[in-house]
Amino acid sequence: MTEERGIAMPSIEKHAETSRNRTGRDYLDLHEWMDKDPLTKIQRHDITKIHEYGQMMLDKYGHEGLQEYLQHIHDDLLARFGHVKEDLEKSVQDTLAYFGVSAKPRKSLPSEYETLLVDLELLSQAGVAPEDVIHCQRVCRKALEIASKIDKPLDYDLIARGGLLHDLGKAKGRADDHGFLGAKIGRSMGLPEEILRIMETHVKAGLTPEEARDAGIPEKDYAPETLEEKIVVYADKLVDIIYSADNVVSSADEAEKRFTEILSTHPKLAKSQKAALRQINNHLEIQSMINSI
Ligand SMILES: [Fe+2]
C-alpha cells in the first residue's frame, strides 16, 4: 500500500493483482504508468482528463484496458473515501438493479456501470464534499424509484445520471448559483446538455429571471420542463425532507403524504415562499401521474 494524505492507497502490485483476477491479465504497464512517477501521478488520476486518457487506453489496450484504467481510478477513490465505500457500492448496485443489470461480479462491466462509477468519481474529484456525494446518491435512488412508478416513457439513464450529478456545482459553494455553476463545470467536461439542464433547473424548483439576477447568474427562466427534470427536483426535495436534521418524518412514505403541509410549515425546507409553491405544484403534478396508474 502507498500513503496519500495518510490514507492507504492500493499499491501497483495490488492494482495488477485486481486486474489479473478480473481479466486474467495484470496490465502492469498500465498501472505503472498511472502510479510510478510521482511527478505525473496526480495528472494521470485527474478525472477531467478521463476522455483524453480513456481514448489513449482504448487505442493501446482495447475495451478491457480502458475498463482497467477506470477501475484503477475507482479503486483509489474507494480507498480515499473508505468511510463512504459501502454507500457508494450500494448506490451503484441499487441503480444497476433498476436498470435490470445483474449486480454480480462479471468479467466485462456493462457500460451503465462504468458511466455511473465515473459520475461518482467525478463528483468527488471535482471537490463535492462526501456528505453531498451521499445526498446525490440518495437523490439518484429516489428519482429512479419515482420514475418506476410513472407509466410514461422516461429516459432512466438521464434520470440516474442527472440525479447523481445534480449537485456537482456544490464543489463551488451552496448558494443559489450552484446549479448554474455545476452546469458550467459539466459543460467543460463534455457532459450531455440534458444533464446540464437538470443541474440548472433543480435549484429551488426552477429560479425565475429575477431570482437568477439576485443569485448573480444569467437572467432567464430556469423552470424544469421535461418530466426527467421535474422528477429530479421532486426527488431532491423528498430526500431533504426524509433526511432532515429535525426528523420531520419517520418514513419515506410520510414525506410524500405530508409534502404540502411540511413545505408550508418548515421555512428551512421551503427555502422561500415562491420556491415552496413551485415545489408543491411539482409534487402535485408528479403525484397525479403516480396515482393514475
Ligand atoms: Fe442542489
CA atoms within 13 A on the CB side of 281: 12
Distance 252 CA to ligand 1 centre (A): 20
What is the band of 266 on the pLDDT scale with cuts at 50, 70, 90?
very high
Distance 98 CA to ligand 1 centre (A): 23
Distance 179 CA to ligand 1 centre (A): 6
Residue with cell 414525506: 255
Distance 192 CA to ligand 1 centre (A): 18
Q: Tell me the per-residue pLDDT of 117-127, one tens digit each, with 9 for 90 and over.
A: 778 888 988 88
Question: Global pTM?
Answer: 0.66
Residue 282 and residue 202 in contact, taking contact as beta carbons nearer than 8 Å: no
Instruction: Report d(CA 251, CA 172) in Å as an integer.
Output: 32
Instruction: Report d(CA 145, CA 225) in Å as an integer.
Output: 20
Q: Tell me the per-residue pLDDT of 132-160, one tens digit each, with 9 for 90 and over.
A: 999 999 999 999 999 999 999 999 989 99
Q: Tell me the per-residue pLDDT of 4-23, one tens digit each, with 9 for 90 and over.
A: 444 567 899 999 999 999 88
What is the band of 108 on the pLDDT scale with cuts at 50, 70, 90?
very low
Instruction: Report d(CA 59, CA 45) in Å as an integer.
Output: 18
Residue 160 and residue 95 in contact, taking contact as beta carbons nearer than 8 Å: yes
E strand or H helix at 263, and its extent? helix 259-265
In this structure, whether the domain defined by 86-291 belongs to CATH 1.20.950 is answered with no
